[in-house]
A and B are shown apart, each in its own frame.
Chain A
Amino acid sequence: MTQTLTQAPILDAKGVAKRFGAVTALHDASLTLHKGQIVALMGANGAGKSTFVKILTGALRPDAGQVRLQGRDFTATSPATARRAGLVPVYQEPSLIPDLDVADNLRLGNTDPVKFRHWVNELGITDLRLDATIGRLPLATLRILDLARALAAEPDVLLLDEMTAALPTDLVARVLQVVRRQANEGRSVIYISHRFTEIAAICDRATVLRDGATVGDLQIEPGIEDRIVDLMLGGQIAPAATTTIRATTGPTRVQIRNLKAGTRLTDVSFDLRQGEVLGVIALEGQGQDELFDVLAGNRRAASGSLTVNGTEQTFTHPAQAIAAGLTLVPGDRAHALLMTRSVRENIALPLIARFRNWGAIQMHSEATRVTAAIDRLQIDTRAMGEVRRLSGGNQQKVTIARWIAKGVETLLLFDPTRGIDIRTKRQIYALVRDLADQGAAVLFYTSELAEIRLACDRAVVIFNGRVVDIIDAADADEPTLMRAAYGLKASA
């Protein structure tokens, strides 16, 4: 092995450009990856990250520029050719076939079951059955299986897209360990994440995209976060939402007692008061999905009581929850948006939901309400038309704007900032605070512990389907929340 060979980058993309009709998604993206390195690929929403990933993995062809893999010119024409060339991606959504069992999925991808089993164990899942149907497994497990399958292929370059987004904290630690070890053994990794702690923990360098071009390639060192944020935002940082934690003395809006639903939500009780932002913290699959579904009328509780403004309620359809003022922004935007319709129709949807609104629409008053909501959330509607053409952050804003236009009483936000850029996140924190100040009650589930202090007044911690702790935001530092989320009571 000569010096020059080890020095040459294993993956080298230069000047990559891609246009979709009139929209330029990328105009000068580049990325250099050396053997044994982990490079973080970062960028705010709309910076062109996902287009870049698609080009690197062969799902899209670039209009210009060059991608070299192991010194050879490489334009993947499909994920299969990229795989053969040694580049294996793990996407945000699992790429396993839901109706087939694990073994059949391995057969389809020509994965060695022995190596696969090894990696699954290594990643902390020990009770996997190969005849389990994929569609019945929880999302976190699927992501681990996807990663294990990629590792079993022994790739030269591993591309991980928001790998830890849906994982519980213990699995995140495992994944980070395994990924770092891969790099130490001489493989290379492109690591896409919004989480600075993870990037600081395992990455060597960070490549930052903004507006379709690479604007920085930085060594990771302590304190680099501010610099990266600067680069991503192009110097126009909105000030962080300043949390003004107040005594929460408003009247009780929603009272939950001994709520039980499905197999995971066993016994939850808490109060949500008017004017407060109540955080919910839980590891993956502790019953939080069921809790939000019950509150939104999307699922029936098996037992327990739900009281809204003093009246006991049993919802059988979201329409009833909405009538009682409980409105949900689901975790998955694909479940919330009419992708083929306009921003206006999306926002105005709850206004026409009731039978009595089937008749003529008051176009003028609708326009006023929609515009007000768009302005309030600062939705970028340059690409007016179908919602699917908006960036992820803007799509998320549309799902919230819908309820702003309708009028918010009790807002249920399920991980509203997952996978969106820091600027939009801050706008959402500020908005949530604003709504609470105006008398709304907000229930805010988040998978990012740090958000409790940024956006909430208190946090309910759920573990194993039960409330294990309620912590004031002032005391909710990440270690405290983490311990609570694992069901470890503070030893005080």
Chain B
Amino acid sequence: MTAALRLMAQNPLIPLILLLFLLIGALELLQPGIVNPRWISNTLKFAIPLAMLAACQTLTMLTGGIDLSAGTVATITAFVTATLTPLIGVPLALTIGLSCALTAGLINGFGIAVARVHPLIMTLGTALIANGCLLVYQRYVIASGTKIPDFLVWLGTGRTLTLPNGLALFLPFAALILWMQYRTGFGRLLYAIGSNESATRLSGVRRGPVHFALYALSGLIAGITGLLYLGLVKTPSLSLALPLDLPSVAAAVIGGTSIFGGRGGYAGTIVGALILTVLATMLTLLQMPEGARRILFGLIILTVTALYIRLTEKG
């Protein structure tokens, strides 16, 4: 037993994957036959945008930060792209949409890297401002109608051999993030800054450029997620990615990334996103009222994190 616990502590992915299968098992018990290829494909389809947005949280949390503007940034990119497409065409609309995301990321980066504002406050503030801008923008363009680029719909809702097309975007994306976090200097620096900022400085690392690049990257990832989610939901709205906002933090936390930095990684986050998606299905199946869903959601984040802390401290 203790040996098993130790194994889990050394590799936190194992208990997470066990939990995922436990939840799937419970789902099958609740409604026999639900777990089939089509369901798996659907689950993946909804988990992909969540996992992508959670990449923003994972990367920023590694340095001890957080990006609470990710959901808003995703929404803005999607909304701007959808409203501009009928006016100026797909390529230009995409470019402008993604530049909005990058700009928001750069503003975050500026505040955090140069002015040294706490990331939680800085990104909340950016979200607030960005949301205001979106409301103002909306009043000028809503009349012109919206159009969602076809390839986004293909990515968001299409299937190939029962698997969602979103994987065509997600698999390279995940591989890139995983490679970046372990095998590049930039990735290592994220961990280093989160683990001990003064030690990192004394080793000759300039923290500013790292934070600047990190939050800009986070903004860009949020923007791309917004586009994918747009293709999935197919109706641009001012609260498009809002349902993903807090779950993206939850996915990273469940996945074992320490909110204080220096520990964790994207592999756990992917499993975390899957767990949350399966859980959402289960709650819908049980016809939980919205209130009870939120309560359960909160309790699960808490329990999983507490369990995870217990396990890693044992070793």
- Residues of A in contact with B (beta carbons under 8 Å apart): 21-22, 296, 298, 317-319, 321-323, 328, 330, 334-341, 345, 348-350, 352-355, 357-361, 363, 402
**Contact B188 A361, beta carbon cutoff 8 Å:** yes
Closest to B185 in A: A352
* Closest residue of A by beta carbon distance from B313: A21
In the complex, the chain A residue whose C-beta lies closest to that of B264 is: A340
Q: Are B203 and A337 in contact (CB under 8 A)?
A: no
Complex interface: chain B residues within 8 A of A322 (CB):
203-204
Inter-subunit contact A318/B262 (CB<8 Å): no
Q: Of the candidates A21, A338, A353, A402, which one forms a contact with B195 in the assembled complex, judged by CB atoms under 8 Å apart?
A: A338
Interface string of B184-203 (1 = CB under 8 A from A): 11101101100110111111
Sample (13) of A-B pairs whose CB atoms are under 8 Å apart: A317-B206, A318-B201, A322-B204, A335-B202, A337-B196, A338-B196, A338-B200, A340-B258, A349-B192, A350-B204, A358-B185, A359-B184, A402-B203
Chain B residues whose C-beta falls within 8 Å of the C-beta of A337 in the assembled complex = 196, 199
Task: State A345–B188 Cα separation when bound (angstroms).
Answer: 8
Whether A350 touches B203, Cβ cut-off 8 Å, given contacts A345-B191, A358-B189, is yes
Closest to B199 in A: A336
Residue of chain B at shortest CB distance from A317: B206
Total interface residues in chain B, CB < 8 Å: 26
| Distance in angstroms between the alpha carbons of A348 and B185 in the assembled complex | 10
Task: Determine if A353 and B205 form an interchain contact, defined as CB atoms under 8 angstroms apart.
Answer: yes
Q: For the complex, is B132 an interface residue (Cβ under 8 Å from A)?
A: no
Q: A340-B263, A341-B192, A345-B191 are in contact. Are A318 and B202 (CB under 8 A)?
A: yes
Instruction: Report the bound CA distance from A363 to B182 in whole Å.
Output: 10
A233→B198 CA distance, assembly (Å)? 34
Would A348 and B188 count as touching, CB distance under 8 A?
yes
Tell me, in angstroms, the Cα distance from A479 to B110 when the chains sit together: 55
Known: A339-B195, A352-B189, A353-B204. A21 touches B184 (CB 8 A): no
Say how far B65's CB is from chain A's closest CB, in angstroms: 16
B145 at the interface (CB under 8 A from A): no
Question: Counting CB contacts under 8 A, is B315 at the interface?
Answer: yes
Q: Do residues B183 and A363 form an inter-chain contact, with CB atoms below 8 A?
A: yes
Known: A338-B200, A345-B188. A360 touches B262 (CB 8 A): no
In the bound assembly, the distance between CA atoms of A357 and B206 in angstroms comes to 12
| Contact of A21 with B314 at beta-carbon distance under 8 Å, contacts A341-B192, A361-B183, A361-B188 already known | yes
Tell me which residues across on chain A come within 8 A of B204, comparing CB atoms: 318-319, 321-323, 350, 353-354
What residues of A have a CB within 8 angstroms of the CB of B198 in the complex?
Answer: 335
Q: Chain A's nearest CB lies how many Å from the CB of B107?
A: 22
| Contact between B188 and A352, CB atoms less than 8 A apart | yes
* A residues in contact with B184, CB < 8 Å: 358-361
| A389 (CB) vs chain B CBs: closest residue | B315
Contacting A360 at CB < 8 Å: which of B183, B201, B203?
Answer: B183
Give A358 Cβ to nearest chain B Cβ, in Å.
Answer: 4
Complex CA–CA separation, A330 to B201 (angstroms):
12
B residues within 8 A CB of A319?
Answer: 204-206
Contacts of A339 in B (CB 8 A): 195-196, 262
Q: Which residue of B lies closest to A320 (CB)?
A: B204
Q: What are the 10 A-B residue pairs with the smallest beta carbon separation, nearest first?
A: A352-B185, A338-B195, A353-B204, A322-B204, A340-B262, A358-B186, A319-B204, A357-B185, A358-B185, A349-B203
B159 at the interface (CB under 8 A from A): no
* Contact residues in B for A402 (Cβ distance below 8 Å): 203
Q: In the complex, are the beta carbons of A21 and B6 less than 8 A apart?
A: yes
- B209 proximal to A (CB < 8 A): yes
Complexed CA–CA distance, A340 and B192 (Å): 9
Task: Determine the distance from Cα of A317 to Cα of B201 in the docked complex, in whole angstroms.
Answer: 8
List, in ascending order, chain A residues with CB within 8 A of B315's CB. 21-22
Q: Which residues of A contact B195 (CB under 8 A)?
A: 338-341
> Residues of B contacting A353 with CB < 8 Å?
189, 203-205
A24-B195 Cα distance, complex, nearest whole Å = 27
Smallest distance from the beta carbon of B73 to chain A beta carbons, Å?
23
Tell me, rounded to whole Å, the shortest Cβ–Cβ distance linking B215 to chain A: 15
Q: Which of B159-191 contact A (CB under 8 A)?
A: 183-186, 188-189, 191
Question: A361–B200 Cα gap in the complex (Å)?
Answer: 17
| Contact for B202 among A323, A336, A352, CB less than 8 A | A336
What is the CB-to-nearest-CB distance from A296 to chain B, in angstroms, rounded to a whole number?
7
Chain A residue numbers with a CB within 8 Å of B186 are 358-359
Q: How far in angstroms is the closest Cβ of chain B from A423?
A: 25
* Contact residues in B for A330 (Cβ distance below 8 Å): 202
Bound form: Cα–Cα A349–B198 in Å: 13
Q: Which chain A residues border B203 with CB–CB below 8 Å?
A: 318, 322, 349-350, 353, 402
Cα distance, A360 to B204, chains bound together (Å): 19
